[in-house]
């Protein structure tokens, strides 16, 4: 039986790939035969995950990269090309959030969120497109959020940055389609990862949050990764500029 999500021979770079949703995507891409580049600020975790995948016969390259630093971004792509000779897919997964009332937000908070969630994502996309344009093909998958669609309290900067990701995805898709580059986004809702484990262990908080989700449960990282697999595969060759929501119905109302 044909494997519709076979990624054998593809080179996929994932920022923020050492934990959470990024780690799950790295694992699933690798399982489907892709050569993976694992990039994040935590180089030790990148190396650990890379070593694990290599022990299973996979090809993986760990890279330390701070996406707020343009030289880091350029170096990340240069290393990828030196090791694999090409780059087919880039997943802009690196992102941060700070929760506090809008009246208490500082300039430092603003720069922290927008430098990673927008500046980093844009310049990673730009650098990827420089190589993909020469190839005449490529895919960029951006991680947005339901916060970019439905306003949420106490995370005004985060939701604004993710709304920007959604609009930027459309703009880049329209501009780069002529080069054979697909640009799409995934907007996860509440997904259970190590990052929000503390909140999920708070029964009172969880009770309030689950009431807002029609399925009454958090999603699994696989729910997001499965969609990323689809967008990375040959099954999604006629899709660009779209944002796909994975939220258990949170944004319905």
Pairing assessment for the beta strands 243-246 and 89-92 based on DSSP bridges: unpaired
Q: Which residues are catalytic?
A: 158
d(CA 55, CA 119) in angstroms, rounded, equals 35
Among residues 127, 18, 50, the alpha carbon closest in space to that of 81 is found at 127
Q: What is the dihedral of CA 68, 149, 205, 92, to 10 degrees?
A: -30
Cα(202)–Cα(237) distance, integer angstroms: 42
pTM of the full structure: 0.97
- What is the pLDDT, as a whole number, of residue 41? 96
Q: Choose among 199, 221, 210: nearest CA to 249.
A: 210
Q: At 64, is the secondary structure helix, strand, or coil?
A: strand
Domains of the chain and any CATH numbers:
11-246 (3.40.50.720)
List CB contacts of 143: < 8 A, sequence separation 6 or more. 21, 91, 92, 93, 95, 165, 185, 186, 188
Q: What is the pLDDT along the chain (253 residues), one digit of tens a residue?
A: 778 899 999 999 999 999 999 999 999 999 999 999 999 999 999 999 999 999 999 999 999 999 999 999 999 999 999 999 999 999 999 999 999 999 999 999 999 999 999 999 999 999 999 999 999 999 999 999 999 999 899 999 999 999 999 999 999 999 999 999 999 999 999 998 877 777 777 788 788 889 999 999 999 999 999 999 999 999 999 999 999 999 999 999 8
Quote the pLDDT of residue 117: 98
> What does the pLDDT read at residue 208?
86
> First and final CA of the chain: distance in angstroms?
40
Do residues 6 and 231 touch, judged by C-beta distance below 8 A?
Answer: no
Residues 6+ apart with CB under 8 A from 85: 11
């Amino acid at each position: 039986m044909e494997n519709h999500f076979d990624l054998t021979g593809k080179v996929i770079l994932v920022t923020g790939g050492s934990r959470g949703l990024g780690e799950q995507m790295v694992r699933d891409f690798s399982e489907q035969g892709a050569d993976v580049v694992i990039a994040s600020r935590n180089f030790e975790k990148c190396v650990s995950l890379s070593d694990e995948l290599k022990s299973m016969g996979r090809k993986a390259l760990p890279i330390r990269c701070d996406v707020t630093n343009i030289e880091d971004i350029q170096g990340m792509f240069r290393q990828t090309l030196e090791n694999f000779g090409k780059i087919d897919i880039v997943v802009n997964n690196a992102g941060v959030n700070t929760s506090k009332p809008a009246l208490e937000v500082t300039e430092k908070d603003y720069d922290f969120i927008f430098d990673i969630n927008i500046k980093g994502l844009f310049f990673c996309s730009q650098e990827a497109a420089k190589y993909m344009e020469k190839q005449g093909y490529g895919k960029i998958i951006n991680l947005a959020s339901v916060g970019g669609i439905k306003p949420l309290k106490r995370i005004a900067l985060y939701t604004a940055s993710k709304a920007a990701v959604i609009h930027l995805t459309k703009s880049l898709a329209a501009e780069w389609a002529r080069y054979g580059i697909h640009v799409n986004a995934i907007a996860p809702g509440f997904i259970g990862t190590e990052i929000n484990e503390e909140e999920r262990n708070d029964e009172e908080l969880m009770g309030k949050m689950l009431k807002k989700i029609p399925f009454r449960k958090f999603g699994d990282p696989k729910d997001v990764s499965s969609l990323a697999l689809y967008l990375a595969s040959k099954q999604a060759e006629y899709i660009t500029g779209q944002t796909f929501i994975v939220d258990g119905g949170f944004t319905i109302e």
